[in-house]
Structure 1
Amino acid sequence: MTPELTALALSGLLQAVQFTLFAVPANRDLGVGYTSSARDTPPSRQLAPLTARLQRAMNNHFEGLILFTLAVVVVTLGDQSTATTQTCAWIYLAARSLYIPAYAFGWRPWRSLIWGMGFFATLTMIVASLI
């Protein structure tokens, strides 16, 4: 397996960790009755601020994971794996790991800088695969 695919697999596991970090307090905040329902109506209670931040960080990673997956597929299928793309894949994973506490605890402006590192690393992978 290429380093890029390994980073992608670990990013998928990170997404599962993020889901757990959100789901456990969400069940506490909203109640299992609501979280196990069809959710046809809005919840009667709101998420705690930290839980809501964890949800937004999780959703943000879903969005970032789409572009990162595209980058890994292009690099892998195009047989364009290089030291640059490998380093960028690890930078993406590190940035996404740091993004969770950065978002949860409101690290400003670090949260945005961390997000930018992951985004730039992903774009670099795509551009490098075209060169």
Structure 2
Amino acid sequence: MTPELTVLALAILLQAAQFAAYSIRANLDVGPGYAMSARDRDPSRPLSDLGGRLQRALTNHFEGLTLFAPAALLVAVSGQSTPFTAACAWVYLVARVLYVPAYAFGWRPGRSLIWFAGFLATISMVISTLI
């Protein structure tokens, strides 16, 4: 397996961990009754600030994966894995790991800089396959 695909697998596991962290926080915030309901109405208790931030960080990672997954597949399928593309993949993953506490604890401007590092690494992988 290429390093880029290894990072993709780890990014998927990170997504699962983020989902678990958000789910636990959300259940504590809104209560298990609402969490297990059909959610036809708004919860009687809102998400805490931390719960909302974990939810937004999770959503952001879904969005990031929609670019990173095809980038990793493009590199792997085209046989263009290089030390540069592997480094880009690892930068993406490290950025995504750091992004969770950065978002959860409101690090400014760190959160945006961390996000940009992951985005730039992803786009750099794609561009490298075209050169």
Alignment RMSD, CA only?
Answer: 0.6
Specify the alignment match of 1:113 in structure 2: 113
Deviations 1:58-83 (A, max 9, x none): 10000001100010111111111111
Aligned positions of 1:93-112 closer than 5 A: 93-112=93-112
Gapped runs of 5+ residues in structure 2?
none
> Alpha-carbon deviation of 1:43?
1.1
Q: Is 2:84 the counterpart of 1:59? A: no
| Distance in 2 of aligned mates of 1:86 and 1:99 | 20
Deviations 1:31-88 (A, max 9, x none): 1111111111111110000111011001000000110001011111111111111000
> Alpha-carbon deviation of 1:129?
1.0
- How many residue pairs get aligned? The number is 131
Specify the alignment match of 2:29 in structure 1: 29
Deviations 1:8-41 (A, max 9, x none): 0000000011011111010011111111111111
Aligned positions of 1:3-42 closer than 5 A: 3-42=3-42
> Alpha-carbon deviation of 1:104?
0.4
Q: Identify which range, 25-34 or 94-103, moves more after superposition.
A: 25-34
Paired residue type of 2:130 = L
Specify the alignment match of 2:79 in structure 1: 79
